[in-house]
Chain A
Amino acid sequence: MPGPADPGFDTLALHAGAAPDPTTGARAVPLHLSTSFVFQSAEHAASLFNLERAGHVYSRLSNPTTAVLEQRIAALDAGLGALATASGQAALHLAISTLAGSGHHIVASTALYGGSHNLLHYTLPRFGIHTTFVRPGDIDGWRAAIRPETRLLFGESIGNPGLDVLDIPTVAQLGRDHGLPLLVDATLATPWLQRPTDLGAALVMHSATKFLCGHGTVIGGLLVDGGNFDWQAAHEQHGRCPELCEPYDGFHGLVFAEENTVAAFALRARREGLRDFGACLSPHSAWLILQGLETLPLRMARHVENTSKVVDFLSKQPQVGRIAYPELDSHPDHALAQRLLPKGCGAVFSFDLKGGREQGRAFIEALELFSHLANVGDARSLVIHPASTTHFRMDDAALAQAGIGPGTIRLSIGLEDAADLIEDLKRALKVAEKAGGKTGANAAGGRA
């Protein structure tokens, strides 16, 4: 029978979490730049601290403006709640630190943002947390890497920068079979293209700096609890998740999974992670990200449309080698993308420019509309050379594992007129070709 349903995505992008301000009537979300919130009484204060009542205490823990953003991304991602953090990296750290400690282990995809790779490969081992990296499509590899002390599986919905598509349903189910949650970094997809929780992921994180904000103005992160992972069952059947299912000394023996049957993760992440590590998001940044979220559906549609046109252009250029975009038949994850990303594969992709580093340098420097910088997901189009910037700490083997070559160029397609972007690329390719001639290289000769 037909029945009522949740509001649609576009409606949620505008309204979830926000109502006209009851005091002033303000229709836009008010910006509450206040560190703290006055208690009604001593008893009220004690009740808030003791989780007896709902409300805001101190903006490191929660803030009314930030809470609107958290509700909104949770609604868009079909999660039960979210936590806003100072950056995407802070969101990843919050997820890991909520579930893992010294002696624990993570299984992660090789196709990760360079900053995430740094955290897992170089930094967390110093704190006793080790990671085994597996190629995202190697399901047997994921399975084989799981250990008794594993606490988390982690991958990107669209891997950076080769655009490997994570088989979320399969990896999530593998995790559930072993009592392990799957955390998906959905920064490049955004919930408009894919909602990982619908596919079985337990947790979702975003660098909100990118498409969610969409205007290249602020740094922020979001961590969404899907509410679909049974922490108690994982504890009872596999001995995992004691952090959520056993008494917590930091809160009078409280058991998070008893306080809330489905939101134990979100509860601990806020009550411990934000409280103690303190990587909260500024309310001002939350407000700016909210402005971006309101137009996310419109922007993402245009981002994807422009990207298709640019990819089509590049695919016909003799100077361009491999294009890593899953909508192309040539991409190894094309079929998976058609199944899991039916609305498109986003607006960030990489391609190999034939020729050497000199051609790459000339190409990037010749671009005028494309800005050469370390970011993606801006309204403006962006370009970068991953091997020398975002992924420069990776050695050649790790680069190759992540699908990055010395001539790989990464583009983030913005909202300009596609024809202008193509014209810019066309001009830069000519400059690169000439640069190849000056150095004696055959630009079309396949030297990569």
Chain B
Amino acid sequence: MKIQRPNLPDVYAYTGGRTPQPGLPWLVAVHGALNDHCVWTYPARWFAHHGWNVLALDLPGHGRSPGPVLPDIEACAAWLRQLLADQGIAAASVVGHSMGSLIGLEAAAQAAGDGAGPRIDHLVMVGTAVPMPVSDALLATAAREPLKAIDMVVAFAHARLAGEPGNPGPGTWHNTASRQLSRRILERAAGVAGCEHNLFHHDFSLCNRYARGLEAADAVAAAGHTRSHLVLARRDRMTLPKAAVEVGRRLGADTQLLDAPGHDLMQEDPEGLLAALRQALGHALR
């Protein structure tokens, strides 16, 4: 659905096939670099049909949401909190993948810091690392040859030649599905305001520059308002599980480690991810 706000760009949010209803808990899903809402289709539909209101967002400049893009993770988090506030959402659980996990972490920290605005009850960081450095070589390739950089990331992000039947269903070859999604998001963002080179380089730069992740984790833990969870992939070569140990420790997060998938664990192991999300958010089910 399209979320329209006065004097602000529209935002697209996939609602999992159900219109949000009053009185249900909110689950907000935030995608990673050069992705959009459709990486969350399966869990979004599941939660939307099991007692939740779901907003799987397209971040500004991504997919169906117009730009301009936002300059850093902190701004993305502030944008997210403002969006929730504008929708009258007092509390939400936030699940984010990769770059989206940093946005969720920062949003929880901002909520902890100012004590105002929407509360984040659950933070689920999927395929995460804090900090999330991106190599100079990959950043440079993303700037100059984004299609080549996409190919590199596709190869890094997939651990299996025989993935489970993720979205859109059995018979999906995840490498190309992921490659084409990134290419589409890149194409649609051509010329979008706020990018120095292109959206891929921009997103990677946001991940690379976000330096206060561990500090944010401390703030979230100190406030005690948010239950934190990590869902990691043992074969993740983009965000190595060991790179999330410290943030998990500081957050006091429970951690679930999926054996089979790589970084694209929504596609490579949708059942494993759903089970992990259900476990993380289960107690909040109504």
Residues on A facing B (Cβ under 8 Å)? 1, 3-7, 12, 15-19, 46-47, 50-56, 62-64, 66-68, 70-71, 74-75, 78-84, 226-228, 230, 252, 254, 258-264, 266-267, 270-271
Task: Given A62-B171, A74-B171, A259-B38, answer yes or no on A54-B162 (Cβ-Cβ < 8 Å).
Answer: no
6 other contacts beyond A17-B161, A74-B176, with CB at 8 A cut-off? A1-B138, A3-B155, A5-B151, A51-B45, A83-B171, A254-B17
Known contacts A3-B155, A6-B175, A51-B45; A68/B162 CB under 8 A:
yes
- Contact check, B177 vs A262: say whether CB atoms are below 8 A apart: yes
Report the separation of the CA atoms of residues A270 and B164 in the bound assembly, to the nearest whole angstrom. 17
The answer to whether B22 has its CB under 8 Å from any CB of chain A is no
Q: Which residue of A is nearest B157, CB measured?
A: A4
Residue of B nearest to A12 (CB): B161
Which of A15, A64, A81 gathers the greatest number of chain B CB atoms within 10 Å? A81
Report the Cα distance A370→B219, complex, angstroms. 78
Pairs across A and B, CB under 8 Å, 26 listed: A1-B138, A3-B155, A6-B154, A6-B155, A15-B161, A52-B45, A53-B46, A54-B166, A56-B170, A62-B165, A62-B170, A67-B170, A71-B162, A71-B171, A81-B168, A83-B171, A84-B171, A227-B177, A227-B181, A230-B188, A258-B37, A258-B38, A261-B36, A261-B63, A263-B168, A266-B168
Contact B180 A260 (CB under 8 A): no
Contacts of B181 in A (CB 8 A): 227, 261-262
Tell me, in angstroms, the Cα distance from A54 to B175 when the chains sit together.
17
Cα A74 to Cα B179 in complex, Å, equals: 13
Which residues 1-59 of B have a CB within 8 angstroms of A? Answer: 14, 17, 36-38, 41-42, 45-46, 49
Please give me the residue from chain A that is nearest to B137 by CB atom: A1
- In the assembled complex, B127 has its CB within 8 A of some CB on chain A: no
Q: Closest CB of chain B to A343's CB: distance in Å?
A: 21
By the criterion CB–CB under 8 Å, are A47 and B161 in contact?
no
Find the residue from A53, A254, A260, A270 having the highest chain B CB count within 10 A.
A260
Give complex CA distance A53, B46 in Å: 7
Residues B42 and A52 in contact, CB atoms below 8 Å apart:
yes
B residues with CB within 8 A of A: 14, 17, 36-38, 41-42, 45-46, 49, 63, 137-138, 140-141, 148, 151-152, 154-156, 160-173, 175-177, 179-181, 183-185, 187-188, 270-271, 274
Q: How far is the CA of A230 from the CA of B165 in the complex (A)?
A: 23
Q: Which 10 pairs of residues, A with B, have the shortest CB-CB distance? A: A70-B171, A227-B180, A4-B155, A74-B173, A67-B170, A62-B170, A3-B152, A52-B46, A80-B177, A19-B162
Q: Which residues of A contact B188 (CB under 8 A)?
A: 230
A50 touches B45 (CB 8 A): yes
Q: Which residues of A contact B271 (CB under 8 A)?
A: 53-55
Q: Which residues of B contact A54 (CB under 8 A)?
A: 42, 164-167, 169-170, 270-271
Q: For residue A354, give the distance in angstroms from its CB to the closest CB of chain B.
A: 48
Closest Cβ of chain B to A138, distance in Å, is 30
Please give, as numbers and ranges, the residues of chain B lying within 8 Å of A84 by CB-CB distance. Answer: 171
List of B residues within 8 angstroms of A5 by Cβ: 151-152, 155
- Which residues of B sit under 8 angstroms from A56, Cβ to Cβ? 165, 170
* Shortest distance from the beta carbon of B136 to any chain A beta carbon, whole Å: 10
| Residues of the A chain whose Cβ atoms lie less than 8 Å from the Cβ of B63 | 261
Which of B49, B160, B162, B179 interacts with A50 by CB under 8 Å?
B49
In the complex, which of the residues A1, A15, A66, A75 contacts B175, with contact meaning CB atoms closer than 8 Å? A75
Query: What is the CB-to-nearest-CB distance from A70 to chain B, in angstroms, rounded to a whole number?
Result: 3
Nearest opposing residue in chain B for A14, CB measure: B161
The CA-CA distance from A74 to B181 in the complex, in Å, is 15
Among B42, B166, B167, B176, residue most surrounded by chain A Cβ atoms (within 10 Å): B176
- A3-B152, A54-B169, A54-B270 known; A261 and B184 CB under 8 Å? yes
**Smallest Cβ-Cβ distance to A263: which chain B residue:** B168
B161 to A230, Cβ gap below 8 A? no
Q: Which of B151, B167, B185, B188 has the most CB of A within 10 A?
A: B167
Given A3-B148, A52-B42, A79-B176, A259-B162 contact (CB < 8 Å): no
B155 touches A53 (CB 8 A): no
User: B174: shortest Cβ distance to chain A, in Å?
Assistant: 8
CB closest chain-A residue, reference B237: A4
A189 CA to B14 CA, complexed, in Å: 40
Which residue of chain A has its CB nearest to the CB of B183? A228
| Shortest CB distance B171–A (Å) | 3
> Which chain B residues lie closer than 8 Å to A230 at the CB level?
184, 187-188
| Least CB separation from A265: chain B residue | B168
CB distance from A81 to the nearest CB of B (A): 4
**Which of B45, B46, B169, B270 contacts A62, CB < 8 Å?**
B169
Q: Using Cβ atoms and an 8 Å threshold, which residues of chain B touch A258?
A: 14, 37-38
In the assembled complex, the Cα of A6 lies from the Cα of B161 at a distance in Å of: 10
Q: Which residue of B lies closest to A15 (CB)?
A: B161
Contacting pair A19 B168 (CB below 8 A): no
Q: B175 — which chain A residues lie within 8 A by C-beta? A: 6, 75
In this complex, what residue of A is CB-closest to B181? A262
Cβ-defined contact, A81 with B180, below 8 A: no
Which of B41, B151, B163 is close to A260, meaning CB atoms less than 8 Å apart?
B41
Bound together, the chains give a CA A226 to CA B184 distance in angstroms of: 12
Contacts of A70 in B (CB 8 A): 170-171
Known contacts being A52-B42, A62-B171, A260-B167, is A78 close to B176, with CB within 8 Å? yes
A252 with B17: CB separation less than 8 A: yes
Report the bound CA distance from A126 to B30 in whole Å.
48
Return the contact of B42 from the options A4, A53, A75, A252 (Cβ within 8 A): A53
Bound state CA distance, A68 and B173, in angstroms? 10
Tell me the bound Cα distance from A6 to B187 in angstroms. 22
Would A47 and B46 count as touching, CB distance under 8 A?
yes
A267 in contact with B168 (CB, 8 Å): yes
A67 touches B184 (CB 8 A): no
Give Cα A45 to B42, complex, Å: 14
Q: Which residue of B lies closest to A43 (CB)?
A: B50
